[in-house]
Amino acid sequence: MNTTLTGKPTAALTETGPLRVTLVVGSNRHGRFGPVVADWLLGRLRDRDDIVADVVDVADAELPTSFEPTPEATAALSGITPKLAGADAFVVLTPEYNHSFPAGLKNLVDWHYGEWRAKPVALVSYGGLAGGLRAAEHLRQVFAELHAVTVRDTVSFHNAGASFDDEGALRDPAGPDAAAKTMLDQLVWWGEALREAREKRPYGG
């Protein structure tokens, strides 16, 4: 099933307004399942009055691995970096490839530094029996190095393809919906706390 991901336009927000959350869709593999999970996740984000959601999709990011600021890289970053820099918090959606997260996601993360600093990250994973949890745990180490804070609770889909029907709807939404609420409650708490802290004084890490 092909699904188009579009970010909700960011409204003019005050410092005490809804949390600006950027969803990073971490797979760019041909035939990927990620957009199905991402559309469900965007529904959970947009159901909340305390969040305004935007999207960065790794599949749309044609970034080289050389980290050379070529005109092509600059053009690609122009549609990505502002969404990361303007975010108060992030949700990162990752599959699990070979016991870890995809190279394209790592590449996008590595092209940025200050955009992640002193901000919270929630992790959502999907895969087979392991549900992508090993990828999520590896991402915790990466974001710690970037001075970001990963929230404790995650959402994971074990045997993800069987969890959704042909229309992209969850067959049994009760568990994932409850897990998403817990995770997003934590993300909002950390997001508001760290936003207030950054406004009062620069992060010194």
Express each pLDDT in 67-116 by its tens digit.
Answer: 999 999 999 999 999 999 999 999 999 999 999 999 999 999 999 999 99
Once rounded to an integer, what is the mean pLDDT over residues 163-185?
97
25 and 55 Cβ atoms separated by less than 8 Å: yes
Of 42, 5, 35, 6, the closest CA to residue 21 belongs to 42
* Residue-level pLDDT at 16: 80
Burial zone of 2 (CB within 10 Å; 0-12 exposed, 13-18 middle, 19+ buried): exposed
* Residue-level pLDDT at 204: 85
- Mean pLDDT (the chain) is 93
* Residue-level pLDDT at 1: 43
Of 147, 111, 141, 107, the closest CA to residue 123 belongs to 141
The 10s digit of each residue's pLDDT in 115-164 is 999 999 999 999 999 999 999 999 999 999 999 999 999 999 999 999 99
Structure tokens at 205: 């890490």
Taking the domain 20-200, which CATH number applies?
3.40.50.360
Of 175, 111, 106, the closest CA to residue 135 belongs to 106
Q: What ranges do the domains of the chain cover?
A: 20-200
The 10s digit of each residue's pLDDT in 9-68 is 444 444 689 999 999 999 999 999 999 999 999 999 999 999 999 999 999 999 999 999
* Residue-level pLDDT at 7: 45
- Alpha helices by DSSP H, 47-146: 71-78, 81-85, 103-110, 133-145
